[in-house]
Amino acid sequence: MKICFTSALFCDAHKLDQLDKPGHFVRNENYDYFLFTNLNEKLFDTSWDVIDIGGNKNISNVNCNIKKSRYPKFLSWHLLESLGKKYDVVFYCDAWITPNEKKDWNALASKIKNEKTFPFAQAEHNRKVCRDGGINAEFERILISKRDSKKSVETTKTILKSYDTSVDFAFPQYYENTCFGYDFNNSNVRNITNELWSLYNLKDISYRDQPLWNFLLLKNKVNPIIQNDLKDNSFRETDSFKKLNLDGYKATNYLNEHCWFIRKYENEGTMRENYTKK
């Protein structure tokens, strides 16, 4: 199985200290690990292979660094193909997160490949309010956390509702985009990520990608593979973990051993402080 891991980090060089810190991890020599950025690789001390795509034509007309980063996040298949690379499965994680070298990635990749309709694996939202309240609940969280303006949120709602009136913004389903994996060659995945990119680049739409992604899942009537053990805070909410009755160090150690990605909180950028505050 040919596997690639990707991450993305875009910003102005003078703001680098505010953003996520790409970490160190044990690499598997059979896999590739690419961090796509608009910055020089010399600015990073990390296990990722850093690739500067700041001049890429597909983001040349995008005037927001956050939005630029979503091109290698969701259309990594397109970017990788343009670099002459092909894979069976690609995994993405935010830059402060690292792949767990102790996990059997071939097994998870095979699980994804064996799903024929929509071979895209991700975790449900770790907050019950978002799982129960859907897109509307996430928009509320965005405003509470001051991650976007009320005007932007309302404009985005208007754009999406006019794009497809059938989507229920209160539908009790919600997935996170912190980390995920997908079948590199699947046409359904490619079509939906292409659709996301075309909408995401509309002038007045929110830079928050989760509401748009969840909107497109409902609009296209597809369900991802639920893989709640991708990361610790989603796995904590599962019945299988709660039955273990672990807390403190034991819980943290168990989660780091059993989750596919390890969330290294010391590498979390200060830009996330309001959003992650409980």
pLDDT(278) > 50: no
Sketch out the chain's domains with CATH numbers.
3-276 (3.90.550)
Separation of alpha carbons 238 and 72, rounded Å: 30
- Mean pLDDT, residues 201-227: 96
For the stretch 67-123, pLDDT in tens is: 999 999 999 999 999 999 999 999 999 999 999 999 999 999 999 999 999 999 999
What's the mean pLDDT when you consider all of the chain? 95
> What is the token pair recorded at 51?
């690739």
CA–chain centroid gap for 226, Å, is 14
Nearest to 37 by CA among 64, 10, 13: 10
Distance (Å, rounded) from C-alpha 240 to C-alpha 82? 42
**pLDDT tens per residue across span 18-41:** 889 999 999 999 999 999 999 999
CB-based burial of residue 201 (10 Å sphere; 0-12 exposed, 13-18 middle, 19+ buried)?
middle
Q: How far is 53 from 69, CA to CA, in rounded Å?
A: 10
Supply the pLDDT for residue 13: 84
Distance between first and last Cα of the chain: 40
Kindly report whether the global pTM for this prediction surpasses the value 0.85: yes
Q: Write the pLDDT tens digit of every residue in 120-135.
A: 999 999 999 999 999 9
Q: What is the pLDDT of residues 49-60, one digit of tens each?
A: 999 999 999 999
As beta bridge partners, residue 181 has 91, 121
What's 187's DSSP letter?
H
Provide the pLDDT confidence category of residue 162 given band limits of 50, 70 and 90.
very high
Instruction: Look up tokens 């509401």; give the residue.
Output: 211
